[in-house]
Amino acid sequence: MRIAIPAEDERGLESNVSGHFGRARYFVFVDVENNEIKGHEVVEVPFNEHGPGDLPSFVKEHGGEVVLAYGMGRKAVSYFNDFGIAVVTGAYGPIKDVVKAFIEQVLEVDPNWREKIEREKKHGGNCEKRE
């Protein structure tokens, strides 16, 4: 299985999940076999501006089968689903920890991510720290 995670920076498994799926400059693609992380690849998003479906196509081109993200719009989720890529939203924290928790089926997600993003938009993009 190949898991795609939008990252805050290029540090790979040591990076945190980006709070802004559509603005992430990097994605970490994590290869999982037999419930173990076997490798990962950091890929810079090749475009600064994107349209509907561009990021799902990018993830598909890199073999992503599952996306773990904090927030994501319904349209993007629909594009991923059309490609047969599963989406989990509300994921936050260090990528290595998030992937391990997902593998072990104990991933805790923020059920209020949608409200937090809406509140952030109203306050000019100042991120709230997620707990």
> What are the tens digits of pLDDT across the range 66-97?
999 999 989 999 999 999 999 999 999 999 99
Query: Could you give the CA distance from residue 93 to residue 102 in angstroms, rounded to a whole number?
Result: 12
The yes-or-no verdict on residue 129 having pLDDT over 50 is no
- The model's confidence at residue 127, banded by pLDDT at 50, 70 and 90, is very low
Q: pLDDT of 93-124, one tens digit each? A: 999 999 999 999 999 999 888 888 777 766 66
pLDDT given at position 20 = 85
Which of 43, 27, 51, 47 shows the shortest CA–CA distance to 99? 27
Token reading at 19 = 């709070």
pLDDT given at position 48 = 83
Rounded to two decimals, the pTM is: 0.88
Q: pLDDT of 12-61, one tens digit each? A: 999 999 998 889 999 999 999 999 999 999 999 998 888 888 999 999 99
Query: Could you give the CA distance from residue 6 to residue 42 in angstroms, rounded to a whole number?
Result: 10
In the chain the domains, ranked by start, together with CATH numbers, are 2-122 (3.30.420.130)
Place of tokens 């989720």: 77
Which of 100, 106, 70, 65 shows the shortest CA–CA distance to 88? 70
Which of 22, 47, 24 shows the shortest CA–CA distance to 95? 24
Q: Are strands 66-68 and 86-88 parallel, antiparallel or unpaired?
A: parallel
pLDDT given at position 119 = 79
Token reading at 43 = 């890929």
